[in-house]
Amino acid sequence: MNEINGVVVRVEDDYAYVSTVGVSSACGSCASRGGCGSVDGEKKTHVLRLPNPIHARAGDLVVIQAAQGAVLRAVWWVYLLPLLLAVVGAAGLLAITGNEMLAMLGLLVGLAAGFLGLRWQKPSCNSRQQILSIAFKV
């Protein structure tokens, strides 16, 4: 499980806004670490809105946890599904018609179908296990 420490900055309804600074221990081997948490040693602050089942209050130290595989599933839905449908749409129309302009149309239709699929999938994603959760820091 990937974890990073944070501080609750405010609570609204059933959500906690958690501030994190820097990078987590899991970021050391990540190729994208420069873009999401640290640039040339400069620390960035991020505020995340997370469900608050532990009833944390402002000022509480918490640990933000990402379940194993949850981030990979999110990446699949957000990046790979629209891209895959775009390529299938383009290749399908190119194979059927032989016209490159129609293949571009197929690409756009496939991409749109991927994004519509994301909009349709969003409610069921929210009802499943959250990608990020919080727990009190021990």
Among the ranges given (10-14, 66-70, 104-108), the one the predictor scored with the smallest mean pLDDT: 66-70
- What is d(CA 85, CA 113) in angstroms, rounded to the nearest whole number? 7
Predicted structure pTM score? 0.54
Mean pLDDT of 51-74: 85
- What is d(CA 41, CA 20) in angstroms, rounded to the nearest whole number? 15
Residues 75-109 as b or e (16 or more Cβ within 10 Å = b): eeeeeebbeebbeebbeebbeeeeeeeebeebbeb
Q: For 86-110, how does the pLDDT look when each residue is reduced to its tens digit (9 = 90+)?
A: 999 999 999 999 999 999 999 999 9
Among the ranges given (13-17, 23-27, 58-62, 70-74), the one the predictor scored with the smallest mean pLDDT: 23-27
Q: Enumerate the domain spans of the chain.
A: 2-66, 70-127
**CATH 2.40.50 at 2-66, yes or no:** yes
